[in-house]
Amino acid sequence: MGPFVVHGEQTMWYFDSPHVIFGEEALSHLAQLNGRHACVITDRNIVRLGLAQLVIDQVTAAGLACTVFDEVEPEPSLQMVQRCAAVLAQHQPDWIIGLGGGSCMDAAKSAWLLYENPGIEPESVNPFDQYTLREKAKLIAIPTTSGTGSEATWYAVLTDTVEQRKVGIGTRGMLPDYAIIDPVMVMSLPPSITADTGLDALTQSIESYQSSWRNDFSDAMCLHAVRLIFQYLPRAYADGSNCEAREHMHNAAAIGGIGFGNSQATLAHCMGHALGVLFHVPHGRAVALFLPYTIEFTANGGDSRYVDIARALGLRADDEPIGAASLVTAVRDLERQLLQPLTVRDLGIDQTSFEHTLPELVGRAETDTQIATSQRIPDSAELRRLFDYAYDGRTVNF
């Protein structure tokens, strides 16, 4: 992800991707593992749904011992990750399997780093420093939602429950060795989670195509992910048992994740993170809500390229402004089909508490790390207006 500066002036870029095993039966790759002991890092819901057992059966068939850590919370905490790392230290696995949504995979990446580097402080982890990884274990990520793309990135977000703040942890080595994209893992996903997570994949892909860190490699992934999501998300939402739609959506999330992991998300993520934390809105729902407004804002700056995305989707796209407008309409139409909120008011947040929180929303959004990679970076006053316009659904005309 992003440019790495060497020798002052030269800039070198990397493209990172896990080995991807995809399609029906992808899970059976686990039955071919060589090793002694696998530790599955997951949550209780995944165990209850029987998905952890599918993984255990394959790992056991490969002749490995298997330990399950099922204490990952929806917002994985530093404290839980440290407990998980202690379990890893006790069992000394040579395979670590992150199984679940973004939280479980982020927890697995972080616990793996702590297991390989005993005694390091998670807060001190810096993307530009070198850490030991893969001396004790390799990492497999198995997503059970089609959205976050965490299976394909080297970054993790944790919550410090003592200090009440988010802690980002990332170093390029934290990329999973394998991502197993098996549609069987998402067949029972309820419609609302299908929509929320699918729209996260869409927002990440559109933003990473527009980010100032975009590059030829990430562009290819992002553009195709957007195409697949528009084609298959409505079908996966309307009929969860549609195997074809589930499979393509599961692939799209990983493809978008590779694009995002080698570029960066932007403004809708900054605004969505702020709203999500302060009003407890699911991540994908929050970022997707802001996407049309931030497309308008970025296009108004005159230096966007939404026209490419509009063309890829077969929308009207004579020039950049028309392409951007077509994309905004298409995103909103998709959100309507998925019964998603289009404004902050639609979320049931009343005007008084919204206005009361506005300074903090702006403060959080403008200090979000992903603001820097936005193609057009708003100042505080513009951010305030953007939140305001998104409250009641006005067209962004500035």
Q: Which parts of this chain interact with Zn ion (CB under 5 A)?
A: 200, 204
Pick 287 or 327: Cβ nearer Zn ion: 287
- Compute the distance between CA of residue 51 and CA of residue 61 in angstroms, rounded to an integer: 16
Pick 2 or 35: Cβ nearer Zn ion: 2
CA 172 to chain centre: 16
| CB 162, min distance to Zn ion, A | 25
Name residues whose C-beta falls within 8 Å of residue 302's C-beta, 6 or more positions apart in sequence. 320
| CB 207, min distance to Zn ion, A | 8
Pick 103 or 204: Cβ nearer Zn ion: 204
Pick 77 or 370: Cβ nearer Zn ion: 370
Pick 200 or 247: Cβ nearer Zn ion: 200
Name residues whose C-beta falls within 8 Å of residue 258's C-beta, 6 or more positions apart in sequence. 17, 149, 152, 218, 221
β-pair partners for 156: 169
| CB 211, min distance to Zn ion, A | 13
Pick 142 or 286: Cβ nearer Zn ion: 286
| CB 16, min distance to Zn ion, A | 18
Residue pair 38/65 in contact (Cβ under 8 Å)? The answer is yes
Name residues whose C-beta falls within 8 Å of residue 101's C-beta, 6 or more positions apart in sequence. 143, 144, 145, 147, 148, 150, 197
| CB 101, min distance to Zn ion, A | 12
369, two tokens? 């790390």
Residue nearest to Zn ion (CB): 200
Backbone angles phi, psi at 119, to 5 degrees: 90, -10
- Helix boundaries (H) for the chain: 44-48, 51-61, 78-91, 102-116, 191-210, 216-238, 243-261, 267-279, 283-300, 306-312, 320-337, 351-366, 380-392
Pick 200 or 368: Cβ nearer Zn ion: 200
| CB 268, min distance to Zn ion, A | 9
| CB 106, min distance to Zn ion, A | 12
